């Protein structure tokens, strides 16, 4: 081989990867312009409550919140940098609240989202339907959607559920970390064997209204019960695949197959212990070591603290990566198809994000990784937002049919306050 030809081949080898990377970047920009990237779960509303008691003007959301003493994952500049077209804001509340406190605090968090939209009207606009999301994205704004995280938010009342829908809530996670009085959670001891009779009525009423049923956080049996009852597609607003990491917050393969029959969607989460089995196991070992030290150092918190410092020094915490997140998507795609995958970060409801997905500015990197792995542009558009828009539209159609057939349920659940 002559020297000139060798030099030409070397130049091509050096230039081609850079050109290919530019092609992916351009593809991602095109996708984000044509399709709203929809994130199924972000906990910014609770950040406003915990940091500034819901005084919007005291948290400079239009500036870089990563520079705060306690950095956040989300702010307006980084949402724009990340190409976000629509965001489900989680109006999470603690499970420790009493029945009526839970309803009141949920209302306050929904009010926070409405006030956030009013404070930044050039950036946000409330979306209630799939068509709203498309229209708002087309106008250059970010569509704000509201999701309730935990069935305790409705205080065991279908009337409250209906009123939450009327003021903008468009999904409800049936449980959070603890069971409700009518549904079992994934991270609590089973109390009902899935959904109770009232729990099934909650699902039916959500179908009738057009509110999306969110099965993140619920037990596998609750997942199965809800999928049997629901006439509309369900969502998992922030969960992964159990086959990749068997954390109880993830979705077993048997349930994934039912999700396909239901035409629902799993919006893949970024929380490190859900993403990575290695991270999850490290956390479990750390908790076990702390329990051991507490037994060994009764009445000596300093001894426990020093022991944990030494343990962490010898057992540094592993990190999950963007690639690990896409592994969950790969598994779901292989098992049931690309039509049932979405994005549900859990930003500002978790600790540091995976390497490469540190905050809301990083969604383009996620889409780029999908393209690198051979996902088509059509596939990536579906994952970014088209799959969720399809689910929303189908839920809206089901609601219209059910509303034409009957009226709201009057069923009640009588539970004595403890």
Condensed to tens digits (0 to 9), the pLDDT of residues 57-105 reads 999 999 999 999 999 999 999 999 999 999 999 999 999 999 999 999 9
Residue 289 has pLDDT above 90, yes or no: no
Summarised one tens digit per residue, pLDDT across range 125-161 is: 999 999 999 999 999 999 999 999 999 999 999 999 9
**Of 399, 395, 388, 394, nearest to 134 (Cα)?**
388
Q: What is the pLDDT of residue 407?
A: 77
Q: Give the pLDDT confidence score for residue 416 in this predicted structure.
A: 53
Only one residue has tokens 């970390």, namely: 177
Number of C-beta neighbours around residue 51 at 10 A: 16
Q: Can you tell me the mean pLDDT for 188-212?
A: 97
Residue percentage of the chain with pLDDT more than 70: 94
Q: What is the pLDDT of residue 232?
A: 98
* Band of pLDDT at residue 417, cut at 50, 70 and 90: very low
* Superfamily name with CATH number, domain 33-274+321-405: Metal-dependent hydrolases (3.20.20.140)
Q: How confident is the model at residue 15, as a pLDDT?
A: 47
- Looking at the predicted structure, is the pLDDT value of residue 13 above 60? no
Domain limits, the chain? 33-274+321-405, 277-318
Residue 14: per-residue pLDDT: 52
Residue 1 has pLDDT above 80, yes or no: no
pLDDT (mean) for 384-407? 95
Q: Does 414 score more than 70 pLDDT?
A: no
Task: Say how many CA atoms lie within 13 Å of 138 toward its Cβ.
Answer: 6
Please tell me the predicted confidence (pLDDT) of residue 283.
87
Q: What is the mean pLDDT of residues 264-272?
A: 98
| pLDDT level of residue 408 (50, 70, 90 thresholds) | confident
Total-model pTM: 0.92
The pLDDT, as a whole number, for residue 304 is 85
Provide the annotated active-site residues. 41, 43, 149, 176, 217, 238, 346
* 181 three-class SS: coil
Residue 182 has pLDDT above 90, yes or no: yes
**Residues 159-171, mean pLDDT to the nearest whole number:** 98
Mean model confidence pLDDT for the chain: 93
Q: Is the pLDDT of residue 260 over 90?
A: yes
Q: Which two tokens stand for residue 153?
A: 């938010």
3-state secondary structure of 157: coil
Distance from the first to the final alpha carbon of the chain: 85
Burial of 28 (0-12, 13-18, 19+ CB in 10 A): buried
Confidence of residue 268 (pLDDT cuts 50, 70, 90): very high
Instruction: Name the residue with higher pLDDT: 17 or 321.
Output: 321
pLDDT band at 240 (very low <50, low <70, confident <90, very high): very high
| pLDDT mean over 281-295 | 90
CA–CA dist 231, 229 (Å, integer): 7
* pLDDT on residue 277: 95
Q: Which of 255, 262, 164, 239 lies closest to 205 in space, CA to CA?
A: 164
Mean pLDDT over 165-175 rounds to: 98
260: tokens are 């396909």
Overall average pLDDT of the 394-405 stretch: 96
Query: What pLDDT, on a 0 to 100 scale, did the predictor assign at position 203?
Result: 98
Tokens of 157: 């009342």
User: What pLDDT, on a 0 to 100 scale, did the predictor assign at position 9?
Assistant: 45
């Amino acid at each position: 081989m002559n020297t000139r030809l060798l030099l030409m081949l070397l130049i091509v080898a050096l230039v081609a990867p850079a050109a290919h990377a530019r092609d992916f970047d351009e593809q991602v920009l095109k996708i984000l312009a044509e399709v709203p990237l929809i994130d199924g779960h972000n906990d910014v509303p609770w950040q406003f409550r915990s940091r500034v008691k819901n005084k919007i003007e005291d948290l400079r959301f239009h500036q870089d919140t990563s520079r705060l003493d306690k950095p956040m994952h989300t702010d307006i500049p980084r949402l724009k940098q990340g190409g976000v077209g629509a965001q489900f804001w989680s109006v999470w509340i603690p499970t420790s609240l009493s029945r009526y406190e839970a309803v009141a605090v949920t209302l306050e968090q929904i009010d926070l989202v409405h006030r956030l939209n009013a404070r930044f009207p050039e950036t946000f606009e409330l979306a209630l339907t799939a068509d709203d999301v498309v229209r708002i994205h087309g106008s250059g704004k970010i569509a704000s959607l509201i999701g309730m995280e935990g069935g305790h938010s409705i205080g065991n009342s279908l009337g409250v559920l209906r009123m939450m829908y009327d003021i903008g809530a468009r999904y409800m996670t049936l449980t959070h970390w603890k069971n409700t009085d009518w549904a079992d959670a994934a991270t609590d001891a089973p109390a009902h064997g899935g959904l109770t009779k009232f729990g099934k009525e909650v699902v039916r009423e959500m179908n009738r209204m057009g509110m999306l049923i969110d099965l993140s956080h619920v037990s596998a049996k609750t997942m199965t019960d809800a999928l049997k009852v629901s006439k509309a597609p369900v969502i998992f607003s922030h969960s992964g695949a159990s086959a990749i990491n068997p954390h109880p917050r993830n979705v077993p393969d048997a349930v994934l197959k039912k999700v396909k029959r239901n035409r629902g969607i799993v919006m893949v989460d970024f929380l490190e212990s859900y993403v990575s089995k290695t991270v999850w196991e490290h956390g479990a070992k750390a908790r076990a070591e702390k329990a051991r030290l507490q037994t060994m150092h009764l009445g000596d918190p300093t001894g426990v603290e020093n022991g944990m410092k030494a343990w962490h020094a010898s057992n540094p915490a592993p990190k999950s990566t963007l690639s690990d997140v896409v592994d969950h998507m790969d598994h779901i795609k292989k098992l049931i198809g690309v039509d049932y995958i979405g994005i549900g970060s859990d930003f500002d409801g978790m600790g540091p994000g995976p390497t490469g997905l540190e905050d809301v500015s990083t969604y383009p990197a996620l889409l780029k990784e999908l393209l690198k792995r051979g996902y088509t542009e059509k596939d990536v558009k579906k994952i970014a937002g088209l799959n969720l828009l399809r689910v929303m539209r189908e839920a809206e159609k089901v609601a219209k049919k059910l509303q034409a057939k009957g009226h709201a349920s009057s069923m009640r659940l009588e539970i004595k306050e403890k």
